[in-house]
């Protein structure tokens, strides 16, 4: 599907649709909130309190979405929020999404990412208004072949660290709920996972990620420290990833069986670059950016 056409079709489709977004207070969730507001959707969000200094608070997100504060680990609260919203389309973004945080506290990461996803599907199972469910995972769900090859959707799964492994579990949970409860003789709901790569865009509040850490270094007059300057990552625009999520949500609503799948969203080969390339792009705009080959902790 062409990105431009998908964008126009999304604009028509989402006006007046009831949409439920988990993780609406986070980095991607705040952008999705703003876009759904712009498209005229009736959106409800479910997440923890917005982070201080994050984009959701800055942009006045509370005025753009019916914002429910709650924990994905709380089954009763998740069910109550879904029941009240009666959504047609669900986007599941809520997660412990920082690789290092998950490494430090794997129990919380698994509770949130794994059981949080189970809790959401339990709520959806009891909510007949839902027609389309988009579960956001990551390209880190793939078994790392270490050969630099581009992943395709049929490649073997096998994230190893707690973040990647918990996200891999979300893939299996989603498939199980789809096959066992949501695509049966009684009901056909569109259900997909979407595996995007690193996104770049404004408003990232997570200081350990690359762009915020470069900007912090500039502010402090210090060189930015890169742990793996020559590691290659697929960099893409936030808007491309969100436009893809919205298109998949729409297409499954219209033709649930045809479009239910596992989807990669990533850049063209041009966007597959070393970490240091991003720093070099920043150097074009901020002459004070320097880096060392020391420690950069992020994802």
Ligand X SMILES: NC(=O)c1ccc[n+]([C@@H]2O[C@H](COP(=O)([O-])OP(=O)(O)OC[C@H]3O[C@@H](n4cnc5c(N)ncnc54)[C@H](O)[C@@H]3O)[C@@H](O)[C@H]2O)c1
Using CA atoms, how far residue 268 sits from 83, 137, 199, 234, 235, in Å, is 40, 19, 13, 8, 9
Burial annotation 244-267 (CB, 10 A radius, 16+ → b, else e): bbbbbbbbbbeebeebbebbbbbb
Nearer to ligand X, 191 or 199 (CB): 199
Interface residue list for ligand X (CB under 6 A): 23, 25-29, 47-48, 71-73, 93-97, 112, 136, 138, 196, 198-199, 206
Nearer to ligand X, 119 or 132 (CB): 119
- Shortest Å, Cβ 218 to ligand X: 21
Nearer to ligand X, 59 or 188 (CB): 59
| Closest to 200 measured CA to CA, from 170, 151, 235 | 235
Q: Phi/psi of residue 242, each to 5°? A: -70, -35
- Shortest Å, Cβ 66 to ligand X: 15
Ranked by CB distance to ligand X, the top (closest) residue is 26
Nearer to ligand X, 9 or 48 (CB): 48
- Shortest Å, Cβ 291 to ligand X: 20
Nearer to ligand X, 130 or 206 (CB): 206
d(CA 298, CA 275) in angstroms, rounded, equals 11
Asked whether 23 and 96 are in contact (CB, 8 A), the reply is no
- Shortest Å, Cβ 210 to ligand X: 10
- Shortest Å, Cβ 185 to ligand X: 32
Kind and range of the H or E run holding 8:
helix 3-13
């Amino acid at each position: 599907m062409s990105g431009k056409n998908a964008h126009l079709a999304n604009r028509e489709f989402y006006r007046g649709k009831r949409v439920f977004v988990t993780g609406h207070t986070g980095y991607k969730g705040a952008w999705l909130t703003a876009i759904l507001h712009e498209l005229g959707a009736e959106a409800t969000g479910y997440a923890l309190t917005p982070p201080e200094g994050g984009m959701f608070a800055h942009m006045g997100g509370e005025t753009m979405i019916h914002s429910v504060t709650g924990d994905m680990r709380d089954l009763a609260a998740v069910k109550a929020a879904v029941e009240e919203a009666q959504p047609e389309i669900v986007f599941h973004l809520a997660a412990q999404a920082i690789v290092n945080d998950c490494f430090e506290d794997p129990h919380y990461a698994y509770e949130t990412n794994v059981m949080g996803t189970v809790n959401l599907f339990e709520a959806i199972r009891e909510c007949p208004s839902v027609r389309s469910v988009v579960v956001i995972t990551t390209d880190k769900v793939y078994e790392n072949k270490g050969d630099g090859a581009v992943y395709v959707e049929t490649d073997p799964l096998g994230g190893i660290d707690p973040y990647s492994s918990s996200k891999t579990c979300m893939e299996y949970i989603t498939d199980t709920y789809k096959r066992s409860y949501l695509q049966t003789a009684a009901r056909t709901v569109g259900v997909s996972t979407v595996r995007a790569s690193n996104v770049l865009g404004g408003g990232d509040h997570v200081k350990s990620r690359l762009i915020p850490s470069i900007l912090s270094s500039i502010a402090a007059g210090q060189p930015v420290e890169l742990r793996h300057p020559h590691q290659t990552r697929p960099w893409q625009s936030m808007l491309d990833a969100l436009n893809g999520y919205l298109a998949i949500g729409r297409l499954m609503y219209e033709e649930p069986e045809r479009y239910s799948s596992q989807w990669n969203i990533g850049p063209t080969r041009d966007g597959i670059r070393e970490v240091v390339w991003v720093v070099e792009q920043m150097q074009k705009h901020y002459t004070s950016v320097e880096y060392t080959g020391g420690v950069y902790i992020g994802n």
